[in-house]
Structure 1
Amino acid sequence: MANHAEKPEKFPGLHFKRWQHNMFFYLTTLNLVWFLTESTPPATNAEGETETQALSTVDAWKHSEFLCRNYVLNGLVDALYNVYSSIKTSKELWESLEKKYKTEDAGTKNFVVARFLDYKMVDSKTIISQVQELKVILHDIFAKGMTLSETFQVAAMIEKLPHSWVEFKNYLKHKRKEMTIDDLIV
């Protein structure tokens, strides 16, 4: 009997990469993950295999492929289930979801980068709260699989300090020793 404790929540159309990773793990625990990449085997007899054995192998494959496809479909919210239920194989279903939602992930990457580039600190809020907001944006960037060196992050944070901090910004820029983000915050 399969352990369904790892069953991912239904995919609502957001955070595809996270859902995909969870579904992949779930299908791995059920020993069905390989149906996402494999095509139907030919119904021909392998060397030394009887026709009955060949048909039995194909029937077993079809049954397991059916299970895999339906586990993926049942991992979608009802509206998405209705859209994707006509797709006949697990492989085609998986590829279709990737094509649709990985493209959307690229758009959200652009949005997160724009949030980071547009962010400016102001005098009307505490610096610590603004640094936390910036750290959340950086976390979102890393969560999307993008990387920024710590040196770049420190330099960007210095540049985002409010205009009234111009002398302190210049002081920080002229320091010879590289700082970490924690050093900068302190």
Structure 2
Amino acid sequence: MTVTPKGKFIIDLELLDLENPIADIEAIRVQNPQRHEMEQLTAILYEDTELNVCAALKEVGEDEFWVRGHMPGMPIMPGVVMLEAVAQLSSFYSQKNDLLGAEMVGFGGVDDVKFRGIVTPGDQLILMVRLLKVRRSRMIVAAFQGVVDGSMVVEGTLKGIPIPVAAVEEMLAQKKATT
């Protein structure tokens, strides 16, 4: 359930300074494990721990892994990549502030997602999240929005869950041992 009134942004865009981010890619990497083509955030622009809101920038480049094939001659950022970017922003905020008490945060689901515009190479996608619910060791729920040139391109609600890193590593080791 998206709780932001229609036409309103989670964070006033005037508060976001694209030239002076509060965290760069190296600071994002401290919190988020994604690397290479799966890194979907360029910088963190804003954070308010009292309101539980955070904003980030995704500079959409000409060399993104999806540009060549989605769609040839008309590159449009896939919705699932937009959702991954929002999940990474939520994970960054959750991990930086130790909200879940987890070694890693994973994608738990999305609800009420609406795609309202397109994102193309050269765009600056502003992502915003507001935490609606935090259940330590269980789940976070966040309203999210994506904005390009002052227009909403995506919105919805997502869930983040703790990933049992040791259990996943053990499962992968067992798979490798049997192949």
> More strand by proportion, 1 or 2?
2
Whose RCO is larger (CA < 8 A, sep 6+)? 2
- Normalised by the size of structure 1, how large is the TM-score? 0.21
Which structure would you say has the larger Rg?
1
> More helix by proportion, 1 or 2?
1
- Normalised by the size of structure 2, how large is the TM-score? 0.22
